[in-house]
Structure 1
Amino acid sequence: MSVEGELLAKAEAFALPHYLEAGRAYHNAAHVRTMLDALESRGVLTPALALAVWGHDLIYDARAGNNEERSASTFDGWLASQKASADLRKEIHALILATKHAAPPATRAEALLVDADLAILGASAADFAAYDAAIRQEYAHVPALLYRMGRKKVLRGFLNRERIYTTPEFAGLEAQARWNLTGAVGRL
């Protein structure tokens, strides 16, 4: 096994218990594997992207607003313990923070990771509905009216973008994502 392959296997072993925590209806190991498959099936999965996928939702608390920062910090600490290079650690940290979806991706790798993270928006209507229900389950602590208001704001934020997907590899999901999002906003 290559050094990269060994690090990836260790990353999965380190991260998997986090993704198996109670309360993760969507942000779980299945989401990670779906992202990895989405990147691999498009021929763009690199070791750095795979590591970032494993680290991006490491910490997930639906009540917190700093999950990406905490995930990036926790995963960086783990990478340091594995003697990963400073350059790789810096790249992974930036990739994980890109999944906040607060600003346009700054690099192609960030764009690929963000698009893979958002691929569920362009999934089949049935898969999107299952995702939507899982998100509601993760936010079960939020009263219905507040949830609807907040969720509409998030979904409209994606709809208001000129393009949801910024890479050619994921551009084919755009029309279905807009259809899914429009329907979801209408049901809220």
Structure 2
Amino acid sequence: MRWDTAITALGGTSGAWPRLEARYGEPHRRYHTLGHAAAVVRDSAWLTGGLSTTERAVVAVAAWTHDVVYDAKPGEDERASAAWAREALDGVAGTHVDRVEGLILATITHDAPPDDLLATALLDADLAVLGAPETQYAAYARGVREEYAKYPDDVWCEGRIAVLERMLARELYRSEAARTRWASTAEENLTAELTHWRRVRGDHR
């Protein structure tokens, strides 16, 4: 769902788009660009096909704005993005603004109540890249590394291993539709990257 379509569906005005586009176009971004946001919008729309227009619009706005502030500072970025969205949603009812803010904040832990269908759609769509074809996954992994270029290789290696191990230890996707579409390939991609970084670290296992 386009930004202007979603905002209009929620009774707001779409004038914040140029600022949003400028944010996603910041030169330090490699993966968390407007292309990523658009992909999350697209995949969350697929996952919310049975919901109302208003609910789908709320998810779309959250998807467009969930990484609008991105400085490779986990937690801080999501909170700043939620605050940006709250300020930008002119004319949108407070209940919808609160919901958008809550959805963005849910991406900090990637957790929400099991029956929250809107959060399920956003969180699953945000991780869809993990189940992408190998070349697309590799581009994602390179992009994230470049966004964290301030960290030396040894620090990145340890941190990335910890992240990958955590992801492989949990069920990545909340919905059956997402699990069917992405889970198997995601496990293969994550395992392959984890094996790579363990070799870089010098593991012999």
TM-score (norm 2): 0.83
Unpaired runs of 5+ in structure 1?
Answer: none
| Aligned equivalents of 1:149, 1:166: Cα separation in 2 | 27
- Asked if 1:181 corresponds to 2:186, the answer is no
- Asked if 1:164 corresponds to 2:172, the answer is yes
Moved more, 85-94 or 166-175: 166-175
Q: 1:21 corresponds to which letter in structure 2?
A: E
Unpaired runs of 5+ in structure 2?
Answer: 50-54, 198-205
Q: 1:181 corresponds to which letter in structure 2?
A: L
- Find the partner of 1:29 among 27, 34, 37: 34
Partner of 1:55: 65
Partner of 2:200: none
- Runs of 4+ with >6 A deviation: none
**Structure 1 64/38 Cα, relative in aligned 2: closer, same or farther at 3 Å?**
closer
Q: Does the 8 A contact of 2:48 with 2:118 survive in 1?
A: no
- Find the partner of 1:94 among 102, 107, 118: 102
Q: Does the 8 A contact of 1:8 with 1:51 survive in 2?
A: no
**Structure 1 78/109 Cα, relative in aligned 2: closer, same or farther at 3 Å?**
same
**Structure 1 71/184 Cα, relative in aligned 2: closer, same or farther at 3 Å?**
same
Q: Tell me the percent identity.
A: 29
TM-score (norm 1): 0.90
- Asked if 1:153 corresponds to 2:162, the answer is yes
Report deviation, 1:11: 4.7
Report deviation, 1:65: 4.1
Report deviation, 1:104: 2.2
Report deviation, 1:124: 0.6
Aligned runs of 1:70-89 on 2, under 5 Å? 70-79=80-89, 82-89=90-97
